[in-house]
């Protein structure tokens, strides 16, 4: 089960970064990866390849990021 609080947190952070991409630097590595994936902006990933980033994110956060991305459509 995906934690709704994590999904909402990712959505809020994605909105912040969408308005000001420089703000991504204040987030944790996991948050940065999740936001970059939700926004589908590989240039925001600073943690190796996309697959390495997904691996680093972990299953729970990956599922939350995927749900957040789907909610933005």
Single pTM value for the model: 0.92
- Cα(71)–Cα(73) distance, integer angstroms: 6
- Cα(16)–Cα(50) distance, integer angstroms: 22
Tens-level pLDDT at each residue, the chain (73 residues): 899 999 999 999 999 999 999 999 999 999 999 999 999 999 999 888 999 999 999 999 999 999 999 999 8
């Amino acid at each position: 089960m995906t934690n709704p609080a994590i999904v909402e947190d990712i959505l809020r952070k994605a909105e912040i970064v969408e308005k000001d991409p420089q703000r991504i630097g204040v987030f944790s590595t996991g948050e940065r990866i999740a936001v970059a994936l939700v926004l589908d902006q590989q240039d925001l990933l600073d943690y190796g390849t996309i697959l390495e980033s997904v691996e680093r994110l972990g299953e729970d956060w990956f599922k939350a990021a995927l749900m957040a991305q789907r909610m933005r459509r």
